Amino acid sequence: MSDIIKGPQLDRRGFMGATTLGTGAALIGLGAGSTALAQEAPSAAPQVDFPDERGAFGGGGSAAGAVNRTEMDLFDCEVEGHLPTDLDGVFYRVGPDPQYPKSPEYAGDIPFDGEGHVSMFRINNGHVDYRTRYARNARWKAQHAARRSLFGMYRNPSTDDPSVAGLNRGTANTQLFLHHGKLLVFKEDSPPVYMDPLTLDTMDEEYTFGGKLESQTHTAHPKVDPMTGGLIGFGYEATGFLSKDINVYEADRAGNIFWSVTVAAPYAGMMHDFCVTQDYIVLYLTNMAADAAQIAAGGVHFRYDSSLPTYLGVMRRGGDGRDLKWFTGPNLFCTHVMGGWNEGTKITVDWDGGEGNQFPFFPSLHEPWDPVKGTGYIRRFTVDVGSRTNDRFQSETIFPEIQGVLSRQDDRFHTLPYRWGYLQVTGPNGGWALIDHREGTSKIASVAGYSLSEMTFVPRSKNAEEGDGYLIGLGSSMAEAGRSDLMLFDTSDVDAGPVARVKMPFRCVGQVHGFWADASDIPGANAA
């Protein structure tokens, strides 16, 4: 940390403490700091130095692996073990990778505000090529030109440098999907960024499905209907910043939006994931509430308010939205859908979720953050929407012996009854849990000495049976300063360890989520 960017009037450590633990009131008046920065000429861009404090935005910097920032091409990676020669596709990943340190008054910003850095492993014929590129959207380009951070706190435009007022603040850092031949990269506060699925060139900074996307925002977790190949997505704060509106749409397999409806939430809060069944849209409103006062005071977008009820909202697919009904239940904080389906009017959705705040870097309004309450379990929500009088959903914790986050499934079974779910197991015996809902059993894939990122399921072939294939994801070697191996487990025998490891010469850029795309869905993937 050079003293060039140390704020003269502000003790950062004190400020960060306030951000982490405090409320909006503690932050009042700090948002005004951006004005002074704008008066410097771009040529006076400060020397780039991330804070030393690990809790700060990009804290620890390059040496700590907190930032990577390097666009890479590694052709023909080194592979150990036996990579199946008939595996043909791309494993995509994306995560926040701070492009620049924040100005000191915003050094307490949260990791989720890092700019989206996409990586891909192109696997074909026993060979693997690695490539990474930033999503070069408006935000990235403005900061690149200025050689400095121009955006302040997480989803708080009042903290931005005046030079970027009105610019799309999206970071494209959460998840990506390959659909209708396009790699769509998502951040839930903005439209997708469309990147070329092979070159990772940014093709459209704000992809709106040919102007048909009515929402100003888009979830990081759309779903594919395997019966039609269509894409179903939604956005919250859909009609404007802090709005309670939710837009839900469905596009056909060619990306043409043919259904779009906008409904209202009980309040504006985080809606990170949703569930789509064959007949229903299932929304979930968490009590991670958007907080206008905290935002006005220069803080982050959300505040965890345990006094607010969480809601499960259900409506028919293809309807006009007037049938949307919000159900309450146990006040859980759920994040990712493992799977869900409906049998008639009876809906089942499995989530990972805790009893309390799962994101400690967002302030909690009523209580200090409780890691025990934040611990994730698989929560099975059921509700019968056939009853006019029922306004409650039921919740059951299944597989209570397994704690974890980042639940996934065989993505070909979105909307359908499913057998296999996957969970990132937290705790000392961490790894990837393979949950067999039919048999009620589970097993854990792990690698000694490695910390694993989120797993993604890869079908053995496009028409393989559910769950028959591989789990793929990054492992970080704890004894080698975090050096990465891409791990490939065969789901038929995870106890045997990875069937193949792609040995990387460095710690790969971090990720939130990953996605597998079959080569046959990627235009030009196997061009001569």
Stretch that binds a copy of itself, among 11-19, 70-78, 208-216, 233-241 (CB under 8 A): 70-78
218 is in an annotated binding site: no
Nearer to a copy of itself, 46 or 157 (CB): 46
DSSP character at residue 525 = T
- Which 459-478 residues touch a copy of itself, going by CB under 8 A? 477
Residue indicated by tokens 């996409």? 118
Q: Flag whether 127 is marked binding.
A: no
Side-chain-facing half-sphere of 312: CA atoms under 13 Å: 32
Q: Which residue has the tokens 């990577």?
A: 68
- Written as six digits, the tokens of 77 are 């990676």
d(CA 447, CA 480): 14
Cβ distance to a copy of itself smaller for residue 76 or 401: 76
Place of tokens 């990837």: 432
Region 113-152 residues binding a copy of itself, contact defined as CB under 8 A: 125-127, 130, 144, 147
CB of 18 or CB of 72, closer to a copy of itself: 72
47 versus 387: smaller Cβ distance to a copy of itself = 47
Cβ neighbours of residue 235 closer than 8 Å, sequence gap 6 or more: 188, 215, 216, 217, 218, 219, 246, 247
Per the annotation, does 221 bind a ligand?
yes
Binding segment for a copy of itself among 44-52, 313-321, 334-342, 420-428 (CB under 8 A)?
Answer: 44-52
Indicate which single residue of 32, 38, 40, 82 sits in contact with a copy of itself (rule: CB under 8 A): 82
Using CB under 8 A, pick the residue from 28, 35, 62, 328 that binds a copy of itself. Answer: 62
**Does 448 contact a copy of itself by CB under 8 A?**
no
Q: Considering the complex, what minimum distance in angstroms separates the CB of residue 103 from a copy of itself?
A: 15
Measured between alpha carbons, how far is 149 from 25 in angstroms, rounded to an integer?
A: 25
- Rule CB under 8 A: choose which of 11, 40, 80, 396 binds a copy of itself: 80
513 annotated as belonging to a binding site for a ligand:
yes
Comparison of 66 and 164: residue with beta carbon closer to a copy of itself: 66
Helix (H, G, I), strand (E, B) or coil at 278: coil
Q: Which two tokens stand for residue 145?
A: 């030109």
Among 78, 320, 343, 465, binds a copy of itself (CB under 8 A): 78
Main-chain phi, psi angles of 214, to 5 degrees: -85, -25
Q: Confirm or reject binding of residue 527 to a copy of itself (CB under 8 A).
A: no
Strands 394-398 and 377-384: antiparallel
Asked whether position 497 contacts a copy of itself by CB under 8 A, the answer is no
DSSP string, 41-57: -GGGPPPP---S-TTST
Give the C-alpha distances (Å, rounded to integers) separating 152 from 30, 66, 353: 11, 18, 29
Which residues of this protein are in contact with a copy of itself, per CB under 8 A? 1-2, 4, 43, 45, 47-50, 61-63, 65, 67-83, 100, 125-127, 130, 144, 147, 477, 480-481, 483, 503-507
Residues contributing to the annotated binding site for Fe cation:
221, 272, 336, 513
